[in-house]
Amino acid sequence: MEKDAQLKRDRNKRILTDIRREQLTAAAYKVVSQKGYNNFTIADIASEAGLSVGLVHYYFKNKQDLLLHVFKETQKNVRRNLAAELEKASDPRGKLEIFIDQSFLLFQREKDYFSLLFEFWTEINRNEAIKKMVRRLYQAYRAELSIILEKGIEEKIFAEMDIQYTTTLCVSIVQHTIIQHLIDDTAFDFNEYAGRMKTFIMETILRSAHAMDGLPVPR
């Protein structure tokens, strides 16, 4: 009986820990995206979460530990959502369209995410742990897109191409369109440019495949 009671206490403790860490992650996500990487305090996080400063320190060693956890959890959620959307298409062309759409839609739905990411970019030359995490982020984007392109080539939907170059180009187009709009939201109509960028990427990838068959590029 005592063993069962201890197992129950341990389980409840783990559940409470998960809940508290989720609360603090959400609070840190919001605070850092608004105040910046260097301008927030643990007290800001505690206030946003409705918890004590002591509890923040109980669950996280320091600010960096908290921020790295926020970054990891945010990326998990982004990749999980993208994977779920990609499952809705059965062919590489459909998956490519979804990949592009979701990349732009993420900015429209989660501007705080990109504000947070922008804050992390500013730290990559001063913080090796953050640099490694941002590097893995871009590696993951390119890897996901590489899988789609490789499958398309295998199924003869896409022509042979330099996959490393193409994935780098596509990620650059999407990410840096977002960066420009994040810096100056009056520079261009984001929805219009997202649509035009998607068309450009799709046509760039599909053109060579259809040129091989003497067919017009689909629009």
**pTM for this prediction:** 0.77
Note whether 67 and 119 are same-domain residues: yes
* 155 within 8 A of 65, measured Cβ to Cβ: no
Report which of residues 68 and 94 the model is more confident about.
94
What CA–CA distance (Å, rounded) separates 200 from 194?
Answer: 10
Q: What is the mean pLDDT of residues 67-74?
A: 82
Note whether 113 and 207 are same-domain residues: yes
Nearest Cα neighbor of 120 from 131, 106, 110 is 131
Note whether 50 and 77 are same-domain residues: no
Nearest-Å Rg of the Cα atoms of the chain is: 21
Question: What CATH number did the domain enclosing 90 receive?
Answer: 1.10.357.10
What CA–CA distance (Å, rounded) separates 29 from 22?
Answer: 10
Q: Phi first, then psi: give them for residue 155, nearest 5 degrees.
A: -90, 5
Residue 71 lies in a domain: yes
Residue 219 lies in a domain: no
What CA–CA distance (Å, rounded) separates 63 from 60?
Answer: 8
Number of domains in the chain: 2
Note whether 201 and 100 are same-domain residues: yes
Q: What pLDDT, in 10s, does the model give residues 108-131?
A: 887 777 777 777 787 788 888 888
Residue at token pair 């998607």: 198
Note whether 98 and 8 are same-domain residues: no
Note whether 119 and 206 are same-domain residues: yes
Report which of residues 77 and 192 the model is more confident about.
192
Note whether 83 and 131 are same-domain residues: yes
* Domain hosting residue 42, numbered range: 1-60
On the question of pLDDT at 201 being above 60, the answer is: yes
User: Could you tell me where the beta strands, DSSP code E, fall in the chain?
Assistant: none
Ordered DSSP codes for 120-148: HHTTTTT-HHHHHHHHHHHHHHHHHHHHH
Q: Which two tokens stand for residue 59?
A: 């669950």
Note whether 54 and 146 are same-domain residues: no
On the question of pLDDT at 14 being above 80, the answer is: no
Q: What pLDDT, in 10s, does the model give residues 76-101?
A: 888 889 999 999 999 999 999 999 99
Which pLDDT score, from 0 to 100, does residue 64 have? 79
Buried b (16+ CB within 10 A) or exposed e, 29-46: bbbbbeeebeebebebbb
Note whether 25 and 130 are same-domain residues: no
Instruction: Calculate the alpha carbon distances from 137 to 17, 44, 55, 60 in Å.
Output: 26, 27, 30, 23
What CA–CA distance (Å, rounded) separates 217 from 171?
Answer: 22
Note whether 104 and 21 are same-domain residues: no
What CA–CA distance (Å, rounded) separates 164 from 150?
Answer: 11
Residue 218 lies in a domain: no
